[in-house]
Amino acid sequence: MKILFDSVSHRCSKTVTQSYSTSFSLATKMLSPTIRQDIYNIYGFVRLADEIVDSFHEYDKETLFNRFEKDLANALAERISVNPILNAFQETVHTYTIDRHLIEAFMKSMRMDLTKKIYLSDEEYHEYIYGSADVVGLMCLKVFVKGDAEKYEALKDSAMHLGSAFQKVNFLRDLKADYEGLDRTYFPNTNLEALDEAAKQQIIADIENDFHLGYKGILQLPAEAKFGVFMAYRYYRRLLKKLSKTPAVEIRNTRIRVPNYEKFGILTRSYVKYQLKLVR
């Protein structure tokens, strides 16, 4: 029965989320059960695409990505896929009428990772972030507002800024892995081999602006989504604070983390703030 396969697909997306990101998984658990599975479905999809271009070094990544892209198109057209991750994702896309151009922009940025190594201009940088992060925030927003077009338009800009902030923090945290492991440089006009405090703080100031604009949208989210997104916001702000205090040379040479005990501390303090209605 299809309903059984759909259940298996849902569990696969949840497992991918829990396996690849403890922080995102923890934040997702704070969402209402009415929307939680759909966020798992979105994350499972974006993670699988990202893994193809970032991790499958022993295989022909372009061939795998082309096949994945074709399978995605078929899943969206036929409303089913034997790939459980795509089967779960297409269900969420159709349930909330997620715009296809968001999916296309995401796939375009993922394809760029197959060949593009250096982003020389702000235009290239922003195009990549829009496709790799902003549109993911917009897909999630569609779920958060349960497809309400008016609410979606009102919160669209904030969701994009929050997505940008999360992605830029990831870029700064993963500086060493991206540069040495994948030979990629995302920040334009920045010499990563000689990253200094001034350049680092300029990047952080840009991220702080995105956080400021993104937070305004969090305050207007429906109750089912607000605490979970606030939790993710608090985690990434904590990570950015650690990066801000870490010398630039150390960021170039190691990956800065927020240990699990700190994540649970963030959860506890965030819950108290939320319950006391300090999130406003």
Poorest-confidence range of 11-15, 101-105, 235-239? 235-239
CATH among 1.10.3720.10, 1.10.600.10, 2.60.120.10, 3.20.20.80 for 2-275: 1.10.600.10
Most confidently predicted of 40-49, 174-183, 252-261? 40-49
- Flag whether pLDDT at 193 surpasses 80: no
pLDDT tens digits along 208-228: 999 999 999 999 999 999 999
> What pLDDT does 183 receive?
67
Percentage of the chain beyond pLDDT 70 is 85
Quick one: pLDDT band at residue 21, thresholds 50, 70, 90? confident
222 vs 10: CA distance, rounded Å: 23
- Flag whether pLDDT at 80 surpasses 50: yes
Residue among 134, 160, 159, 169 nearest 46 (CA): 134
Contact by Cβ (8 Å): 256, 173: yes
Instruction: Please give the backbone phi and psi of residue 176, each rounded to the nearest 5 degrees, phi first.
Output: -65, -45
Residues 6+ apart with CB under 8 A from 67: none
Is the model more confident about 231 or about 269? 231
Q: 3-state class of 185 per DSSP?
A: strand
- Flag whether pLDDT at 251 surpasses 80: no
> What pLDDT does 86 receive?
98
Quick one: pLDDT band at residue 259, thresholds 50, 70, 90? low
The domains of the chain are located at 2-275
> What pLDDT does 188 receive?
77
Angle at 221 between CA 171 and CA 225, to 5 degrees: 75
> What pLDDT does 78 receive?
98
- Flag whether pLDDT at 178 surpasses 90: no
Residues 6+ apart with CB under 8 A from 80: 2, 87, 90
Is the model more confident about 84 or about 25? 84
pLDDT tens digits along 111-133: 999 988 778 788 988 999 999 99
